[in-house]
Amino acid sequence: MPPSEVNRRNPTQQSPSSAPKVLLISASVGAGHNAAARALLETISAVAPHLDVTLIDSLDFTSRWFRAKYAGLYALAVSRFPRLYGLGYALTDRPKGAGRTLVERWRLWSERRALGKLADYVRRLQPDLIVHTHFLAPSVLWDLSSRGELKARQLVVTTDVQPHRWWYCKGVEHWFTGQEVGQDRLRGFAVDAGRITVSGIPIHPKWPRALPQREELLARWSLPADKKIVLLSGGTDFTCGPVLRIARGLAGSPADVCLVVLAGRNKRLLARLSKLPEVRSGRVVPMGFTDRLNELSQVASLMVTKAGGLTTAECLSKSTPMVFLKPVPGQERVNAEFFAGRGAGLIVRNPAQVVQTVCRLLDSPAELDEMARNAGQLYRPGARTITEFICRLVSS
């Protein structure tokens, strides 16, 4: 078993050897790709327990040096050098058609070398179907298929509103994208429209599930029923943003609000938040890591957040209006501008503007309701749509 392999088999009448094999492949670059893969794993296990589903992280098959370069440089760039990251994003987001440049061919060659162990693993496993939630592995495995060493069909699930050029790969049977703009981009790469489904980004199946009434959820979290709930998340893995300054500003504003600050696993941020005087009055509620964010989103009037693909998809599932912290140039900016343009979110540039925008929205229930409606209309049940497609494909 390779490092970090996750396998879900539910007992059925079929033996594991005869069950159709579905391989989910992600990469630990940010949190969204793995979250999308796990959402598919959960949904497939519930809807199609007869399938033999395995989830792996492609970076687990690479050298320590490659992992440090690939994931570590990404984290460093978006958190410390966002403009440089944005420049690199723009320069590599080409060509717009199906042809490959010399630079692209060199990148794909180097990735094939780095992922040799992954190719060996998949060659031995011989799955019936491969589903990718990151762009690193598809071209490597297409190389196997082109040599007749792999018969598996490949599907690709993009995890941002508009896929970057690096998502493009030959030999992909079907593509899934979050919104129509993603479909338009893929068609620009000469992907036939019939091979693209605007499915929505897959999120954990708990998000679209019905929850208890608001009053019960507020009591469960010990949150006040007479105040509007605002969630604040800076994306604590990378682009934390000035979360403390925003929290202080909102706590000192005239808005009748209870601010729930999501610190995740950032213990330093959590400790500093806990020292705010407004914590004692319940006006500010510091929150460590929780896997029940769906409940908090259900009771929230809005969420202040970074514009990650998975985060925005989760907000859409709860019709939660979004206020986007200054987005990092690249896919985050593309996401933020898309949702702002569709009336589901607003983009702010600094902490002072966050406070002003949140206060204005809380005093404008009609505008907030319209944003909520717009967000809800953009939601699509990605995990279920993709799972149903997988079931049809393996049965055929």
Computed over every residue of the chain, the mean pLDDT equals 91
Exposure string over 301-318, b if 16+ CB within 10 A, otherwise e: bbbbbbbbbbbbbbbbbb
Question: What is the pLDDT averaged over residues 156-185?
Answer: 95
Residue 235: predicted pLDDT: 57
Confidence of residue 14 (pLDDT cuts 50, 70, 90): very low
Residue 15: predicted pLDDT: 42
Cis ω before 351 (30° cut-off from 0)? no
Residue 178: predicted pLDDT: 96
Least confident of 79-88, 112-121, 207-216: 79-88
Residue 6: predicted pLDDT: 59
Contact in structure between 132 and 155 (CB atoms under 8 Å) = yes
Residue 8: predicted pLDDT: 54
For 96, other C-beta atoms within 10 Å of its C-beta total: 10
19: its two tokens: 């069950």
Structural fold of domain 214-378: Rossmann fold (3.40.50)
Top-confidence residue, 94 or 22: 22
Residues of the chain with CATH 3.40.50.2000: 6-205+381-395, 214-378
| pTM score, whole prediction | 0.92
Runs of H (alpha helix) within the chain: 32-47, 64-67, 73-80, 82-92, 102-114, 116-125, 138-146, 180-188, 214-220, 243-251, 267-274, 278-281, 293-299, 309-317, 331-341, 351-362, 365-378, 382-395
Contact in structure between 304 and 325 (CB atoms under 8 Å) = yes
Question: What is the pLDDT averaged over residues 327-335?
Answer: 93
Least confident of 107-116, 142-151, 240-249, 318-327: 240-249
Instruction: Name the nearest CA neighbour of 74 among 306, 310, 312, 238.
Output: 238
264-277 pLDDT per residue, tens: 888 888 888 899 89
Confidence of residue 44 (pLDDT cuts 50, 70, 90): very high
CATH assignment, 6-205+381-395 = 3.40.50.2000
Is residue 3 predicted with pLDDT exceeding 80? no
